[in-house]
Structure 1
Amino acid sequence: MPIPAELVAKAQEHVDSGVFFAELADLVRYPTVSDHPEGRVAIEAYLDEVLTPALTGLGCTVRRYPNPDPAGGPFLIGTRIESPELPTVLCYGHADVVGGHEGRWSEGRDPWTLTADGERWYGRGSADNKGQHLINLTALRLLLAETGTLGFNLKFLFETGEEIGSPGLGEFVAARSQALGADVLIASDGPRLDAATPTVFLGARGSVRISLDVDLRPDAYHSGNWGGVLRNPATTLTGAIACLVDGHGRIQAPGLLPPEIPDSVRDALAEIRVAGNPGDPALEESWGDTGLSAAERLYGWNTLEVLSLGAGDIDRPVNAIPGGAHAVLQLRHVAGTDVSDVADTIRKHLASQGFSMVEVNAEASFQASRTPVGNPWVGWAKGVLDEVSDRPVAILPSFGGGLPNHVFTDILGIATLWLPHSYPGCLQHAPDEHLLAPIAREGLVLATALFHALGRFTAPATGTAEVHTAPRSLSRGPA
């Protein structure tokens, strides 16, 4: 049953009238920075004063839980059970933001005050993630006000440490897998393919940060007196990096490559075009694995990037061979890549190339995971969203960045549908972060349509069915 036109109009009016902007402004004013003590205080207030009332307003029972990891903040769960016979959806959002970068925003903007400039709504968290979870909370509220019932069971999980790597989230979810069990995750984070294209992505690439150190001696030695007989750590380090990724961005260590791209992923990415929109950087066609399309390189393959590289005094070099050199690299990897001991993989590869003197350390953040493109929930969501959108919805097997998607696919065993309400140019994590008003307007319609459609279906029974398993029933229930 298509979403009623009256409900679409109400969603659009909620944004056009300025009500949504005012609500988002109230959320942005909380400086919920998860890596700062004052931010932790703001997080507590945000949970108490914003999220708890929003969830209780949806008829949810709300509970706050401590984090099993002292590095992380608390969790909040809202639960509304209408009937054990109905499908259960799990929603997710994160209350924390990165630092405000005060004093660095254009036009003297305050990061904690939402300000509008044309279609851009500036403020920290406007795109990541407060604006996005507000859209979903609002869609649920509009649906409940219109019909008096959701037509499905709702569980909403909020964490408060996503911006610092979601410490404790996996352990917390594993310990409460029954309480959080659902049939499907519907959540919003990250960007669309571009500002104009409604998008659903099914997972995320993982991320491993790799430190390479060549520490040969405590002192620097004159390059004229010792050049040619002392090993130069900077030269050694650049050579070692070139053994891992060449000067054209192609990974050279076989152990850092993923398996072949599945045909289903290739098919999903065949029509996806990357960049080409105003403000996007120009793509370098000769960069990376040129046997792959740009979409395959970004969403279906691994990349190894050098984030920082240094030796000596870069700004004021002296005529001396430095004693040490340091670099930080990042491996972005897709599902199926074995990163269980990536540091050892790199050590062995470098040793085989004569670089055993390079010290390697690696620290993973988010793991890679994705729901299969052929999962029936994917086709269901695309069908619903295509009906209400004026252009086809793009399906991305993986989002290019990192999210804790694996917690839902691998621990809870459910399909994951991410409906992002932002775009790649939103400047998240930087000064001038903003939400685009047209995306907020369209996003609220799309989210409302998806929740409305879910309430009209008889879907799988509540549980933790294997993510690769098809829903047992997607037949239409009563209208």
Structure 2
Amino acid sequence: MLGQRLPPPRGHVRPHAEDAARALRRRRPRDPAPHHHRDVRGAVPPRPGGPGHLSRARPVPPGPAALDAAVAAAAADVPAARAELEALVRIPSISADPARAADVVASAEATAALLEASGLEHVRLATVDDAPPCVIGEWGHHPDAPTVLLYAHHDVQPPGFVDRWTSDPFTPVERDGRLFGRGTADDKAGAVAHAAAVRAWLRTAGTLPCNVKVLVEGEEEIGSPRLGRFLAEYGEALAADVLLLADAGNWAVGTPGLTYSLRGLAGGTVRLRSAGSPLHSGMTGGVAPDPVMALARLLASLVDEHGDPAFDGCYDDWRPPGPDERARLAALATDPATFHATWGLLPGVGFAGDDAIDVLERLWLRPVVTVVGIDGHPIAGSSNQIVSEAAARISVRVATGQDPHRINAALAAHLERRVPFGLECTFTPGEATPAWRCEPTGPAFDAAGRALREAFATEPVLMGVGATIPFVGPFADAFGGIPALLLGPADPGSRIHGEDESLHLGDWARLIEAETRLLAYL
């Protein structure tokens, strides 16, 4: 129930959650003080100071021996953490599928069991309206220390074409040092990494180096549509000085990434109708318009000959990268062939976009429009008829400075203006999440860089990501522009959102070490 602390899982937990809870349940670490049940929500309000700024005093940092003990405990705990991850992956927590609503709840319950077993306090499910549940918890016994909010999400994307998976998407399988399964990299590994870092400290030191709050979201994969209402209701309980997200990724296997920019998301569904029912393609063809052909023409009008956005308003308010950011891109010296191989593009397939523009700028910092779903009539069962309607789901990744609502309005106007043959055209807007970008400097970024450097034994790469995490910008802004540190378990070969999603187990172990260190360095 909302607002109540979750009891340990019992027989009433849904079957998936019961299996997961059995693997996740472990003896809780020793409580650091007899007052461990006190409610600390809002006890350490954030102090705004600009991106990367940490102004709060803190107790004496843990010494080298304490840090070494926590890091060693985290390393020894990796096999148990993997079992916990596999238990969560077995739960098909697909937030986009109403038929899986019970599984999303089961996933939240299992995640809550994991967090509580790891030593976090006041663990509870939290939701607004009929949203899939989030899980929140905390540990806060250092009034003079900073508070870090650890973020991940437990919902996952649909598996897509199940027959294209090498193994069942919800049965985790290891191959060549990678764990395959939906949600392994995006983002159940992030949630387990948070729990593993927390319990490494509590088991060895009986305390944490800083105050910790945890949010594991349940509707990230559908664009966090209720995020505003969620922050209005639970924002004070999540107040923090720094935000740490384990939902990003690494530059390459063995090379950690520290993400400082994300694209936003706009778009929606366009539907064309010509008649009340399908028509005979011979008796009416050549005169009656074909909605599928009309839709193809309409979609093609959204881009130019390079595949770049071309509808009126698509670049409104876009802020091009400045000299410092262009210098960062140039320093990465990316070989486009690397992307070709990593993505598994077929021989002879070229890249979309203007080749005169840097490939990383196109991937991270410019708007792009794609079609992510299309309806007409399945080929199987089709006949010689002209369908009466066709639809497509359009995704627009918006760049820094752009208003996604304004982009949706521009997209709708273009579609209405360009629809062929006077067909009935309706556009239903979907997600509307702005892009996020920060300057990756200051004490918090220095601490993250140090933790990653020591865990991976190489320099982290400051990088952008072309994807969207709706939570980042609104939360950071709500608390005075607190620094947001984006790490993560994925890498370019993880195929997140695709078939055969996977997690590099070695890099995941290093991520857990990095987060264990980072709690001491903040």
Deviation at 1:225, TM superposition (A): 6.6
Mean alpha-carbon deviation: is it higher for 415-424 or for 167-176?
A: 167-176
**Secondary structure at the residue paired with 1:270?**
helix
**1:269 is matched with which residue?**
329
Which of 344, 369, 379 is the equivalent residue of 1:281? 344
What one-letter code is carried by the residue in structure 1 that aligns with 2:228? G
Report the Cα offset of residue 163 of structure 1: 3.1
RMSD over aligned Cα atoms:
3.4
> Paired residue for 1:392, among 459, 462, 477?
459
Q: Is the 8 A contact 1:208 1:331 kept in 2?
A: yes
Between the aligned partners of 2:500 and 2:204, the Cα distance in structure 1 is 36
Distance 1:366 1:109 in 2: 33
1:361 and 2:361 are equivalent in the alignment: no
When residues 143 and 212 of structure 1 are mapped into structure 2, their CA distance, relative to the original with a 3 A threshold, is same
**Is the contact between residue 370 and residue 397 of structure 1 (CA under 8 Å) also seen in structure 2?**
no
8 Å Cα contact 2:271/2:392 also seen in 1: yes
Instruction: Give 3-state SS (helix, strand or coil) of 2:144's partner.
Output: coil
- Are residue 129 (structure 1) and residue 190 (structure 2) matched? no
Whether the 8 Å CA contact 1:102–1:110 is kept in 2: the answer is no
Pairing partner for 2:438 from 342, 351, 372 = 372
Conservation of the 8 A alpha-carbon contact between 2:167 and 2:173: no
Q: Is the 8 A contact 1:33 1:43 kept in 2?
A: no
Q: Which moved more, 1:40-49 or 1:152-161?
A: 40-49
Which of 232, 244, 248 is equivalent to 2:306? Answer: 248
Deviation at 1:393, TM superposition (A): 1.0
Partner of residue 19 from structure 1, selected from 71, 77, 80: 80
SS of residue in 1 equivalent to 2:402: coil
2-structure distance, mates of 1:254, 1:411: 32
Which residue is 1:474 aligned to?
A: none
Report how far residue 276 of structure 1 moved. Answer: 1.1
CA deviations on 1:168-219 (whole Å, 9 max, x unpaired) are 3331222232221111101101432332320111343222233223312235
What residue in structure 2 maps to residue 382 of structure 1? Answer: 449
Residue 68 of structure 1 corresponds to which residue in structure 2? 128
Report the Cα distance in structure 2 between the residues aligned to 1:5 and 1:219, rounded to whole angstroms.
70
Give the equivalent residue in structure 1 for 2:103.
39
Residues 132-166 of structure 1: CA deviation (Å, up to 9, x unaligned): 22122212222344444333211111222323433
Provide structure 2 residue ranges, at least 5 long, that are not aligned to the other structure: 1-60
Q: Superposed, which structure 2 residues align to 1:72-471 within 5 Å? A: 72-98=131-157, 104=163, 109=168, 111-112=170-171, 114-218=172-276, 229-257=287-315, 259-263=318-322, 264-272=324-332, 273=334, 276=338, 279-282=342-345, 286-309=351-374, 311=376, 314=379, 322-350=387-415, 353=418, 357=423, 359-365=425-431, 367-376=433-442, 377-412=444-479, 413-430=481-498, 432-454=500-522
Say how many residue pairs are matched. Answer: 446
Mapped partners of 2:125, 2:110: distance in 1: 15
Alpha-carbon separation, structure 2, partners of 1:227 and 1:9: 72
CA distance in structure 1 between the aligned counterparts of 2:361 and 2:111, rounded to whole angstroms: 39
SS of 1:62's partner is strand
Deviates more, 1:418-427 or 1:400-409: 400-409
SS in 1 for 2:231: helix
Once residues 94 and 419 of structure 2 are traced to their aligned partners in structure 1, the CA distance between those partners, rounded to angstroms, is 44
Change (3 A) 1:330 1:164: closer
* Residues 1:288 and 1:453: Cα distance change in structure 2 (over 3 Å): same
Alignment partner of 1:52 is 2:116: yes
CA deviations on 1:30-56 (whole Å, 9 max, x unpaired) are 4544441431452353145323222xx
C-alpha contact (below 8 Å) 1:90/1:180 kept by paired residues = yes
Deviations 1:412-460 (A, max 9, x none): 4422111111223324445543321111122122222222211xxxxxx
5+ residue gaps, structure 1, are 455-479
Identity of aligned residues (%): 28
What are the superposed Cα offsets for residues 329-350 of structure 1, whole Å, 9 maximum, x if unpaired?
2111123212224443124334
Partners of 2:287 and 2:87 in 1: CA distance: 64
Contact 1:366 1:403 in 2 (8 A): no
CA contact (8 A) 1:184 1:416 kept: yes
Give the C-alpha shift of residue 361 in structure 1: 1.5
Partner amino acid, structure 2, of 1:116: E
- Is residue 169–residue 500 contact of structure 2 (8 Å, CA) maintained in 1? no
Normalised to the residue count of structure 1, the TM-score between the two structures is: 0.80
Distance across 2 between alignment mates of 1:322 and 1:172: 42
2:404 alignment partner, SS class: coil
* C-alpha separation in 1, matches of 2:77 and 2:386: 64
- 1:313-359 deviations in Å (ceiling 9; x for gaps): 65677666554433222111123212224443124334555757462
How much does 1:11 deviate?
Answer: 3.7
| SS of residue paired to 1:271 | helix
Given that 1:88 and 1:183 are in contact with CA atoms closer than 8 Å, whether structure 2 keeps it comes out as yes
Which is worse superposed, 298-307 or 263-272? 263-272
Q: Give the 3 Å change call, closer, same or farther, for CA 319–418 of structure 1 in structure 2.
A: same
Q: Is the CA contact 1:195–1:439 (under 8 Å) kept in the aligned structure 2? A: yes
Assess if the C-alpha contact under 8 Å between 1:91 and 1:155 holds in 2.
yes
- Structure 2 residue matching 1:127: 3-state secondary structure: helix
- 1:107 and 1:367 mapped to 2: Cα distance? 34
- Report the secondary structure of 2:453's partner residue: helix
Deviation at 1:305, TM superposition (A): 0.7
Structure 1 residues 270 and 358 mapped into 2: Cα distance closer, same or farther (>3 Å)?
farther
Counterpart AA for 1:420: G
Contact 1:79-1:155 at 8 Å conserved across structures: yes
Letter matched to residue 473 of structure 2: H
Shift of residue 119 of structure 1? Answer: 0.7
